[in-house]
Amino acid sequence: MLVRGQGGSEDQTVTPGGHALGWMTKGILSKETYYYRGVYLDAVRALEVIQSFPEVDKHRIGVIGGSQGGALAVAAAALSDIPKVVAADYPYLSNFERAVDAALEQPYLEINSYFRRNSDPEAEEKAFETLSYFDLINLAGWVKQPTLMAIGLIDKITPPSTVFAAYNHLETDKDLKVYRYFGHEFIPAFQTEKLSFLQKHLLK
């Protein structure tokens, strides 16, 4: 899925409160205007469109992705029963309260920068309330599909503890592959694990 505003498309929605660096704080003071509200809905709509194609077997649709894509895979599965399986490499957008303390690189640090420039306790409270609606730890319990996740223990972008948090909140058939010597990067061994997992659940 081409995420709104991040590729060749423009984001025409009204989402105040963001800044030039990126998307993490765009519309952050309200769940109605937060950037990822639209992105999550786009993911669900994409599944609906894919399912409508006559050449697609609607019983063999899965969602996969890494980082932001991993978050969208989990969120889409939580919000739609169309996907039958989930595979997510180091999924992002989880356990925001922990992430802003543990992340060493962008884009979680955009949130830190936002609070440094806007040192208003009330705004901070509103922002974290907004983020809670899009946090994978609060969506994970809705996921009913078999789910495979991976995390590299030296990931500076998606702190491993935030992935463990999302995984621990899943209440479905699940597995987590942990890679001690990898960070936020392509993990060759996981690709084999992922393909086997997808074949197991989609080629029955």
The answer to the question of residue 55 being in a domain is: yes
Q: If the chain, 204 residues long, is cut into consecutive pieces of 10 residues, what is the mean pLDDT of each piece?
A: 58 43 87 96 97 96 96 98 98 97 93 90 95 98 98 97 98 98 97 97 90
Task: Write the CATH number for 179.
Answer: 3.40.50.1820
The answer to the question of residue 120 being in a domain is: yes
Q: Domains in the chain: how many in total? A: 1
174-179: strand order across its sheet: 62-66, 85-89, 147-152, 174-179
Q: What is the Cα–Cα distance from 5 to 98, expressed in whole angstroms?
A: 27
The answer to the question of residue 10 being in a domain is: no
The answer to the question of residue 58 being in a domain is: yes
Give the per-residue pLDDT at 105.
92
Query: Which residues constitute the domain of residue 173?
Result: 35-202
Each residue's pLDDT tens digit, 138-191: 999 999 999 999 999 999 999 999 999 999 999 999 999 999 999 999 999 999
pTM higher than 0.75, yes or no? Answer: yes
Give the per-residue pLDDT at 197.
98
Give the per-residue pLDDT at 147.
99
The answer to the question of residue 82 being in a domain is: yes
Give the per-residue pLDDT at 72.
97
Helices (H) and strands (E) in the chain, counts: 8, 4
The answer to the question of residue 25 being in a domain is: no
Q: Just list the catalytic residues.
A: 67, 155, 184
Q: Cα(first)–Cα(last) distance of the chain, in Å?
A: 26
Give the per-residue pLDDT at 23.
85
Give the per-residue pLDDT at 43.
97
Of 100, 24, 25, whose CA–CA distance to 68 is shortest?
24
How far CA 186 is from CA of 23, 105, 150, 159, in Å, comes to: 23, 17, 11, 16
The answer to the question of residue 47 being in a domain is: yes
